[in-house]
Amino acid sequence: MSSGILTSARLRLPGRLRSAYIPVLATAGLLAAMFVAGGVRYTGFASGQVVLNVFIDNAFLLVVAVGMTFVILTGGIDLSVGAVVALSTMVSASLMTDGGWPPLLVVPLVLLIGSALGLAMGCIIHYFDIQPFIVTLAGMFLARGLCYVIGTDSISITDPAYTAVAQARIALPGEMAVSVSVLIAVAVAGAAAYVLHYTRLGRNVYAIGGSEQSALLMGLPVARTKIAVYTISGFCSALGGVLFSLYTLSGYGLNALGMELDAIAAVVIGGTLLTGGSGYLAGTVLGVLVLGLIQTIISFEGTLSSWWTKIFIGLLLFAFILLQRLISARRA
Amino acid sequence: GCGSGGDTTASAGGADDGKITMGFAQVGAESGWRTANTKSIQESAKAAGIELKFSDAQQKQENQIKAIRSYIQQKVDVIAFSPVVESGWDNVLKEAQTAKIPVILTDRAVDSADTSLYKTFLGSDFVEEGRKAGKWLVEEYKDSTDTVNIVELQGTTGSAPANDRKAGFAEVIGAESKFKVIASQTGDFTRAKGKEVMEAFLKSNPDIDVLYAHNDDMGLGAIEAIEGAGKVPGKDIKIITVDAVKDGMQALADGKINFIVECSPILGPQLMDLAKKVVAGEQVPARVLTEETTFTPEQAKAALPTRPY
Amino acid sequence: MAPPAPILQMSGICKEFPGVKALSGVDFRLLPGEVHALMGENGAGKSTLIKVLTGVYDIDGGRITLNGQDVVFAGPLQAQQAGISTVYQEVNLCANLSVAENIFIGREPRRLGRIQWKRMRRRAAELLAGLDLHIDVSAPLSSYSLAVQQMVAIARAVDISARVLILDEPTSSLDSGEVEQLFRVMRRLKAEGIAILFVSHFLDQIYEISDRMTILRNGSLVGEYLTSELGQVELVGKMIGRELADLEKLEDRPPARTSEPLVQTEALGRSGAIEPFTLTVHKGEVVGLAGLLGSGRTEIARLLFGADHASTGALRIDGEPVTLRTPRLAMNRGVAFCSENRRAEGLIPDLTVRENIVLALQAMRGWHRPIPRRTQDELVDKYVAALNIRPADPEQLVRNLSGGNQQKVLLARWLILEPRLLILDEPTRGIDVGAKAEIQRLVAELSDGGMAVLFVSAELEEVLRLSHKVAVLRDRKLVAELPNDDGLTTGVIMETIASGGRA
Amino acid sequence: MTALVRHRLFWPAAVLLLLLAANVAFTPGFLSIEMKDGHLYGSLIDIFRFGAPLILVAIGMTLVIATGGIDLSVGSVVAISGALACLHISGLPDQNDVGGVLTAVGLALGLALVLGAWNGFLVAGIGIQPIIATLIIMVAGRGLAQLITDGQIVTVNSASYKLIGGGYWLTLPFSILIVLAVLALTAFLTRRLALGMLVESIGGNATASRLAGIRSRGLTVAVYAFCALCAGIAGLMISSNVSSADGNNAGLWIELDAILAVVIGGTSLMGGRFSLGGTVLGALVIQTLTTTIYSIGIPPETTLLFKALVVTVVCLVQSPAFREKVFQRRGRRRPAAPQATDDEKVEVPA
Ligand SMILES: Nc1ncnc2c1ncn2[C@@H]1O[C@H](COP(=O)(O)OP(=O)(O)OP(=O)(O)O)[C@@H](O)[C@H]1O
Ligand SMILES: Nc1ncnc2c1ncn2[C@@H]1O[C@H](COP(=O)(O)OP(=O)(O)OP(=O)(O)O)[C@@H](O)[C@H]1O
Ligand SMILES: [Mg+2]
Ligand SMILES: [Mg+2]
């Protein structure tokens, strides 16, 4: 199955570019293989809804990972995403529940806060020439800290409109359904892929990842692009937070703990280089699906103790990465 | 120890209406307490003849939601879970309701307005635990008029037990002005942090009378710190903790801890009983409290030999 | 005839780096429609002047006027917007992007904000065809040799319709053919009234293309001259501040040698890179490799060093068959390789000059046997002096050195190894006349001492001057092996290349 | 003076001093060190003592980062090593038996080395990106630690084991002595021998290093193994300090602190040049910050805000670009008046 995808792609793609797509194609093939293996092993696994559930359960992660893709493509990293997700849920919940604000006001405000935070971090990173790791780590502390300042308890969201959106299911043929979040996430991923491939901003992102020095000397707007990238990541995290609050209908300061690592892992599993300049958004989508599918397999397995769960996740991850690496290395 | 009692009920339940499948979504394995909780549930499920699907959410609500959703997918007979947080369960619980799968909450409650979303809640009341700790303190110092300097080792910031145990304790001691919490800091529920924070407390606060730790482990760490500073735990500084795990009980019996509020992880047998009733469509109380007590050193000495965890 | 008003005027430019005064009070002017050469030794301050002009570095003192107006650029982007298009000295492109993108990035053809990839690729191909380069423009830049990358950089700069075009050593890895193409384009632009600033260490090129030149020495202005009024010897004298005596001496070729073979290849080849070739290098012999851009010279060098793996054939060293799986194994056999791409494959920019020089030697000894500091200092001092590396401070970070000096550091790394076969791929890239003569003398001396050298250079004269025999490549195939006797000239080599060795 | 300010360790050191000063303001006796039962006792000693595991992990992390990699698995290795040692000791008939304790230490460190070598193999041998390669052990290793301890806290009662993390020797905490020994060894290996230069070279330009004949594969594996070894020792220290192994929580998030320490110390995450002294300072800054939070009594809810503030200040102060832009607002963008070209003789063509 996987080799079929690869060979057909080989026929179509022009000369050398083929090798650049191989990691993504390998990932897609392996993902499909993983799904088939799951279907063979567990009853009820091989259904369309299981796949859709992976999307429903990971819509927020997908959005966050999309933002992270931009950052990583420039060779940076954003550790603040998980905390910004939590902050967004907290701000949304407290404003709507305690403040009685309407969602139509709250959501734009939350998106604005996230973007502003990203913008600020981007500016510090660029103008003061400080490593992204440390700046975004400070951003992570800040956002998480603000959550606790708002409150240490979790807050339910009871706004009827918000609840209605959260519970709405868009029916698909075959008795399947997806949530609104999935549509948003897919739209964001599509838009991001377009931006990365078809706009100057996107190409500048790749150029900076290839070599920031060269990009500067080629007369590209390095400052603007770098700052934009962190702003996008901030925006995506805030949007991820909104989706998260739709998912759980609550806000909580300990939400999304460690999500930055999940997002980074998704991006990197998708074949993007952490050093920047190489990778595709499609890879990120696949990376998120891989992580989601691993989770699903674990819950279908159903008999693993807490520690075996972790060991099993590690093993699955290892098997996946190893195969991906071997396939890519052979074909390249 | 508790397995033998469950055996008889198991054969009864199994004979009634085939095998029950339960999906249990555990918070994680963040502490020894939690592990004991998991173990109790797994063992009593086996004993009760209930097929258990278990998943570990690694302290993440989203993972728990995913697990519950997959249980719905797998059409289990009953779902039980210990919520990571109180809020945010309405969606997935509604899905369970639509799929006609009854839900039992364990260990902590959810704050859902719609109580029809779950059948019952089995667990401890963290606020009450805090109150119990406070009451003992008030009782202990009822004859004294001097200020009582208290330091508090909190659990993980933002976590429900930490919030509630702090609130319950504050509620009780707040009534009297002689009780003063002079320092309160998180020790993340771990021994290492408990020790580290306590050492810092001891340096910056020369006269500490009482230590209130949100779990035994932090208390045990703090004891090492107190001993390191040349003071005698249990005498120079009185120590109250929550949980009553074995190591804590030992320290209590040794007089290093003065009072422990029990928070029992052994929910398994009660949970299995409830599950059977719920599946059979019987009426169950909306709230079932675990049987919990408090321990003084004497009680600890008596209870220690039979302590299962 | 009064000269037209200068389009660009720089006066009293000063620039200081920690510990180095790179420019002190330099005046410079550029007239429309001229090709102006900026001359000077390695480290004289040419690149710094260009970078100060285009806003890469902040200026410490002095002023710049463009078209009579005072300007200060905050960065290359602004300079480009003001009509100054620049090719900087090191190839500053993004190797991860395709060739077409490298040419057009920042100026992609768009419709409604959407990049038109097809159109971009087509235009890129046309543009390169104008420079007589026919390659797949959708392939990533990294899949091409440095020379191709240099051509791409030139294509990019030329296509930006600018009033001022700056080319900082654009020809350092180009063959005469490509240089001709470049000059053709430059003449056309010049006729259109564009002012061109040109830097090169090839005097022939300077005399061929430039109208006027400005000479720098040690960061200060020596003077501005009309090219037609300044002879080569005088020029060199002004650049290095003394007469270059031994330039002539190197014109006599070293005598041919016969001795036992050191390295022999038998139909060694690598699919897709170089067709199987058979070549023997004897002890103490200098073998030159000649060929056009992309003819496979670098590929041969890499195979002999184990940097790439051969897919066919056999290799013998001292008559013993060997497989070189890693460069390290080649080094153990006494083979050393100085890469043409000093930035990507040579230098460790964050390490000091000293560390970069002793790196290979240290690697050979292993981490547990450090080279005593005193030995290090002796070795480093010797080569800093011999190659005239400036600033002569071994503790300077190598990234802060000028391009030519970096190249010398790289050479020193391999020379101190005293290998039995030294493979030099474009070793004199970006090196000034004085140092070039010194390096050629060193190579000749070492080969007299019994070291074999495989010498690759885009400059055929240099190859001819040094080699005992010349291997000619074409289309990734070894087509001829010519002994360097009196009958061999650059013309003969060019003919051999053209005819594919059948003549 | 300027040479002092220019030194790359100046700014981390300045921040450390500032934090200490803040402590003195709140706790007057902060700097005092007294003798208690023949041990040195005081807040400063505590900072070193509690910072010891972090310093150790950060030293290993420094080398990994210098090769251009990163190691996320250190936290799990900390947990595993402590768990294995405690499990072995708790099974001993006599827990104070020095031979038994040494066996336990050997087992734990041996396993740590194996895990580190595995990481190195994935990175250098198979070519998996370091962050993902080490993520595998980070996730699975935590499970392994819990498997070893059965999810419970394994308590030991061994005076000999207690020495490692909680004991004293020659009036000094033994853990500090261990750190000093490891630091000295690392400094010797990297700065006296040529290891440091080769590692920096790999991180600075991997391709060039290969072509210069450096055996980067072996070195990389060794560096990851060393990092895991350091984490293993740290794990022993942490578990010995509280005489128990907590497979669930030991070493949680320590990778983040360790990386932060390395970065504060001035080593770039891109690899290349590294500074061991900077790393030690960075780790001390982090530990002092924690102590400051306890002693000033910052409530847990605002702890993170305080941390965010300090980290921001630390990185701003360390940034030359920031100091230039804020402290010395020279009008560098203003075009300066043309200077008369002086002494140099300038020839002008006729
Ligand atoms: N970033 C820097 N930091 C410190 N010194 C520098 C820096 N850049 C250049 N220099 C120094 O400035 C001087 C001039 O360098 P520049 O690159 O302008 O020389 P160049 O004339 O272009 O030489 P080449 O012909 O070798 O390219 C050299 O001594 C160099 O060491
Ligand atoms: N004109 C060209 N057409 C297609 N590919 C080319 C061309 N020139 C170079 N290349 C690519 O560059 C790679 C390197 O070629 P190589 O380094 O062997 O050239 P070379 O003979 O050393 O010449 P130079 O270094 O001057 O370019 C080749 O593998 C080839 O893919
Ligand atoms: Mg230059
Ligand atoms: Mg070449």
Q: Using an 8 Å Cβ cutoff, are B241 and B248 in contact? A: yes
Give the closest-approach CA distance of D299 to chain B in angstroms: 6
Number of domains in chain A: 1
Quote the pLDDT of residue B287: 87
For residue range A190-206, list pLDDT tens digits in order.
999 999 999 999 999 99
Helices (H), chain D: 2-6, 10-26, 43-66, 74-90, 98-120, 130-149, 159-166, 174-187, 195-204, 206-211, 216-241, 254-264, 276-296, 300-318, 320-327
Structural domain that includes position D268: 41-345
Token representation of residue D89: 């000791």
Token representation of residue D2: 């300027």
Helix (H, G, I), strand (E, B) or coil at C70: strand
Quote the pLDDT of residue C356: 97
> What is the rounded average pLDDT of the residues A179-200?
97
* Cα D266–chain centre separation: 12
| Ranges of chain C with pLDDT below 50 | 503
Of B38, B50, B53, B40, nearest to B3 by C-alpha is B40
Ligand 3 is a single-atom ion; what residues have CB below 5 A from it?
Answer: C 47, 89, 402-403
State whether B87 and A302 contact (CB < 8 Å): no
Helix (H) or strand (E) holding C66: strand C61-66
D30 vs D33: CA distance, rounded Å = 8
Is the pLDDT at A127 greater than 80, yes or no? yes
B39 vs B265: CA distance, rounded Å = 9
C160 vs C86: CA distance, rounded Å = 9
Other residues' Cβ atoms within 10 Å of the Cβ of residue C65: 17
Whether the CB of C176 sits within 6 Å of ligand 2: no
Token representation of residue D11: 């700014």
Helix (H, G, I), strand (E, B) or coil at B82: coil
CB of B154 within 8 Å of a chain D CB? The answer is yes
Bridge partners of D169, per DSSP, are: D172
User: Which of chain A's residues have a Cβ under 8 Å away from the Cβ of B38?
Assistant: 305-306
Of A80, A83, A60, A65, nearest to A253 by C-alpha is A83
* Domain-embedded: residue D17: no
Is the pLDDT at B177 greater than 60, yes or no? yes
Confidence of residue A2 (pLDDT cuts 50, 70, 90): very low
Ligand 4 is a single-atom ion; what residues have CB below 5 A from it?
Answer: C 298, 340
Residue of C401, C406, C410, C436 to test ligand 1 pocket, by largest number of atoms within 8 Å of CB: C401
CB of B21 within 8 Å of a chain A CB? The answer is no
Q: Using an 8 Å Cβ cutoff, are A218 and C104 in contact? A: no
State whether B58 and A309 contact (CB < 8 Å): yes
Residues flanking ligand 1, CB < 6 Å: C 17, 20, 22, 40, 42-48, 89, 390-391, 400-405, 430
* Cα C253–chain centre separation: 24
Quote the pLDDT of residue A6: 30
Provide the edge-to-edge strand list for the sheet that holds B120-123: B51-56, B21-26, B78-81, B103-107, B120-123, B287-289
- Provide, rounded to the nearest whole percent, the portion of chain A with pLDDT above 90: 75
For chain C, which residues make up each domain, given as ranges?
8-242, 261-499
- Chain C residue with Cα closest to D197: C355
D334 vs A146: CA distance, rounded Å = 41
Quote the pLDDT of residue D75: 97
Whether the CB of C298 sits within 6 Å of ligand 2: yes
Strands D39-41 and D34-36: antiparallel
Quote the pLDDT of residue D8: 78
* Domain-embedded: residue D350: no
Token representation of residue B117: 């979303």
Provide long-range contacts, Cβ within 8 A and 24+ apart, for C491-494. C493/C290, C493/C460, C493/C463, C493/C464, C494/C460
For residue range C415-427, list pLDDT tens digits in order.
999 999 999 999 9
Other residues' Cβ atoms within 10 Å of the Cβ of residue C83: 18
Other residues' Cβ atoms within 10 Å of the Cβ of residue A179: 24
- Chain B residue with Cα closest to D240: B192
Q: What is the mean pLDDT of chain C?
A: 91
- ipTM of the complex model: 0.93
- Point out the residue among C72, C226, C348 whose CB comes nearest to the CB of D333: C72
* Domain-embedded: residue D238: yes
Contacting partners of chain D (3+ CB pairs under 8 A): A, B, C
CB of A130 within 8 Å of a chain D CB? The answer is yes
Residue nearest atom 24 of ligand 1, based on CA coordinates: C42
Instruction: Find the C312 Cα to ligand 4 centroid distance in Å.
Output: 21
What CATH number has the domain bearing residue A21? 1.10.3470
Helix (H, G, I), strand (E, B) or coil at A146: helix
- Point out the residue among B32, B195, B230 whose CB comes nearest to the CB of D153: B32
Instruction: Find the C155 Cα to ligand 2 centroid distance in Å.
Output: 17
C261-499: which CATH number, 3.40.50.1390, 1.25.40.10, 3.40.50.300, 3.40.50.620? 3.40.50.300
Confidence of residue B9 (pLDDT cuts 50, 70, 90): very low
pTM score: 0.93
Sequence-separated (6 or more) residues with CB below 8 Å from residue A126 = A222, A223, A226, A227
State whether A203 and C97 contact (CB < 8 Å): yes
Report chain D (350 residues): mean pLDDT per 10 consecutive residues: 72 89 85 83 89 97 97 97 96 93 97 98 95 95 94 92 91 94 97 96 95 95 98 97 92 94 93 95 95 88 92 88 75 39 38
Number of domains in chain D: 1
* Domain-embedded: residue D34: no
What's C333-378 look like in SS3?
CCEEEECCCHHHHCCCCCCEHHHHHHHHHHHHHCCCCCCCHHHHHH
CB of B290 within 8 Å of a chain D CB? The answer is no
Is the pLDDT at A246 greater than 80, yes or no? yes
Give the closest-approach CA distance of D308 to chain A in angstroms: 5
- Point out the residue among B26, B28, B63 whose CB comes nearest to the CB of A295: B63
Quote the pLDDT of residue C95: 93
% helix / strand / coil in chain C, to the nearest 5?
35, 25, 35
Instruction: Find the C285 Cα to ligand 4 centroid distance in Å.
Output: 21
Interface D:A, ≥3 CB–CB pairs < 8 Å: yes
User: Which of chain D's residues have a Cβ under 8 Å away from the Cβ of C355?
Assistant: 197, 201
Contacting partners of chain C (3+ CB pairs under 8 A): A, D
Of D194, D231, D184, D236, nearest to D214 by C-alpha is D194
Show which residues on chain C lie within 8 Å of chain A, measured between beta carbons: 56, 75-77, 79-81, 86, 88, 92-98, 101, 105-106, 108, 110, 113-115, 136, 138-140, 143, 156
Is the pLDDT at B157 greater than 80, yes or no? yes
- Provide, rounded to the nearest whole percent, the portion of chain B with pLDDT above 90: 60
> What is the rounded average pLDDT of the residues A153-164?
91
CB of D242 within 8 Å of a chain B CB? The answer is yes
Quote the pLDDT of residue D147: 95
Architecture of the C8-242 domain: 3-Layer(aba) Sandwich (3.40)
Other residues' Cβ atoms within 10 Å of the Cβ of residue B302: 11
Is the pLDDT at B15 greater than 60, yes or no? no
Sequence-separated (6 or more) residues with CB below 8 Å from residue A319 = none
Give the closest-approach CA distance of B157 to chain D in angstroms: 7
State whether B87 and A152 contact (CB < 8 Å): no
Interface B:C, ≥3 CB–CB pairs < 8 Å: no
C355 vs C483: CA distance, rounded Å = 39
Give the closest-approach CA distance of D198 to chain C in angstroms: 7
Quote the pLDDT of residue C244: 61
State whether B66 and A249 contact (CB < 8 Å): no
Quote the pLDDT of residue B3: 33
Bridge partners of B122, per DSSP, are: B106, B288
Ramachandran quadrant class, B24 (left: phi over 0; alpha: psi -120 to 50; beta: rest)? beta
C261-499 and C8-242 share a CATH fold: yes
Confidence of residue B8 (pLDDT cuts 50, 70, 90): very low
Is the pLDDT at B139 greater than 60, yes or no? yes
State whether D46 and B203 contact (CB < 8 Å): yes
Helices (H), B18-159: 32-48, 61-73, 90-98, 126-140
Quote the pLDDT of residue A19: 67
User: Which of chain B's residues have a Cβ under 8 Å away from the Cβ of A306?
Assistant: 26, 28-29, 35, 38, 56
State whether C221 and D341 contact (CB < 8 Å): yes
What phi and psi values does residue B97 have, to the nearest 5 degrees?
A: -60, -45
Q: Using an 8 Å Cβ cutoff, are D294 and B200 in contact? A: yes
Quote the pLDDT of residue D343: 37
D244 vs D83: CA distance, rounded Å = 8
State whether B192 and D152 contact (CB < 8 Å): no
Residue to test with chain D: of C348, C398, C399, most D Cβ within 10 A: C348
Of C310, C326, C293, C283, nearest to C145 by C-alpha is C293
Instruction: Find the C169 Cα to ligand 3 centroid distance in Å.
Output: 7
Is the pLDDT at B54 greater than 80, yes or no? yes
Quote the pLDDT of residue D347: 43
Structural domain that includes position A43: 2-331
* Domain-embedded: residue D29: no
Is the pLDDT at A119 greater than 70, yes or no? yes
Residue of C128, C148, C295 to test ligand 2 pocket, by largest number of atoms within 8 Å of CB: C148
Which letter does DSSP use for residue D346 in this model?
-
Please give the single-letter amino acid code of residue D32: S
Quote the pLDDT of residue A4: 32
Quote the pLDDT of residue D25: 87
Strands (E), B194-280: 210-213, 238-243, 259-262
Residue to test with chain A: of C47, C94, C108, most A Cβ within 10 A: C94
